[in-house]
Amino acid sequence: MKRLIFVLPALFLALSGCATVPYTDRQQIMMVSAEEESQLGATLFTDVKKSSKVSTDATMNSMVSSVGRRIAAAADRPEYKWEFVVVEDKTVNAFALPGGKVAFHTGIMPICQDESGVAAVMGHEVAHVLARHGSERMSQQQALSIGSVALMAAVSGSSPVVKEGVMQAYGVGAQVGVLLPYSRSHELEADRIGMILMAKAGYDPRHAVSFWERMLANKNGSSSLSFLSTHPSDQKRIDELKGFLPEALKYYKGR
């Protein structure tokens, strides 16, 4: 098993390929295939649902699923098996896993307020999936020393250390559902793409700015705002969101 897990740098380079982020055209180094990525996401999402209490609130689930389907349609990745759940957790959080798996904590719903707020969060999370940020981070970390052939074997194996390492690379920490920080560049890229996806789905992207302003206004030193803690959280970020608006509004036709 150890030989499968630890890979020489030369093997990493041999397995690596290039990818391009939609809408931004940024080039990425990618050693995880789309198929492996989707399989990994499905495996981890199964763990999330087993380890968390999935909400039975029909209204919340209906809204998240409805918005999710619209944003997913705008993302235009029919090969992904999109799935959206609401998790009973007071922390203000949401996260996405590769292959189209998205979870909202109940704690973020009051700040979302309505369908447009949910769309702002959903657009951001789906953008992470679309841009393959998790796999890019794994590749940058040399896949936590896991070769692409061994990736799924390691995750489905018995080593909790290896499994936790892979989950962290995709942004799910030791306490399942607690998002670990992406880089600032990934977060801003997800903001930009997320606003475009909102607009394409028929949601006014200006509501994304309103959502993040509410997040900042509701912070008040609260330790429960784990979603905010993993994102750039100063006024400069709000300004950058506003700077993305002209591009996003080109895609907005309204409903």
Q: Measured between alpha carbons, how far apart are the two ends of the chain, in Å?
A: 54
How far is Cα 167 from Cα 170, in angstroms, rounded to an integer? 5
How far is Cα 125 from Cα 66, in angstroms, rounded to an integer? 15
Please report, for the chain, how many H helices and E strands are present, in that order.
14, 5
Token pair of 8 as six digits: 């020489």
Block residue for tokens 């940020």: 133
Catalytic residue among 36, 125, 136, 187: 125
How far is Cα 209 from Cα 227, in angstroms, rounded to an integer? 16
**Catalytic status, residue 125:** yes
Catalytic amino acids? 125
